[in-house]
Amino acid sequence: MKPSLLFDFTVDKSSHTVFVKREFDAALPLVWQAFTDQEVLDRWWAPKPWLSKTKYMKFEEGGRRFYAMCGPEGEEHWSVQDFTAISPKKHFQFHDAFTDKEENINPDMPGSDWHLDFSETGGRTTVSIAIKHRSLADLEQIIQMGFKEGFTMTLDELERLLDKLAKEKKEG
């Protein structure tokens, strides 16, 4: 068996940044395609049982991806990614913002800046992602939302926690 693929996940609260690093057992052009081609992206971007649906994607500087995360209960969370810089097969960055389904940006929801770096060694490709938020409060809101999206795939214990959180909000 091949050695396991590197996976690093760290949250730096002082810079409001999430760092995700992952190695893939594939050549760089393929991994690059998986991150930049809308058809391929939709096959993996949403954690199960959520689905990613890209309405359109113009992968170029100044271009945009407009997509939704669709939940098992029919929920739709729309977002845009505005591509701000692209160096083919090396790096790209975008600004991420939540929108409604008419593509209007929701100013109350935290946006974030994403930097993605790609490199290949020995047939394996490493992708380093830095997701920078405006403030720690924004980051925490995102973590909380991520938690909710991940909720359907998790354990009863987490259901208990969510109930608790809902109660706290009511009492607050």
Is there binding between residue 19 and other proteins (CB under 8 A)?
no
Is there binding between residue 137 and other proteins (CB under 8 A)?
yes
Contacts of 14 (CB under 8 A, 6+ apart): none
H or E stretch covering 30: helix 28-36
Contacts of 27 (CB under 8 A, 6+ apart): 120, 123, 125
In the three-class reduction of DSSP (H, G, I as helix; E, B as strand; rest coil), residue 168 is classed as: helix
Rounded to a whole number of angstroms, the minimum distance from the CB of residue 62 to other proteins is 26
Selected from 15, 43, 101, 106, the binder of other proteins by CB under 8 A is 43
Enumerate binding residues for other proteins (CB under 8 A): 5, 7, 9, 11, 18, 20, 22, 24-26, 30-31, 33-34, 40, 43-48, 135-137, 140-141, 143-144, 146-147, 149-151, 153-154, 158, 161, 165, 168-169, 171-172
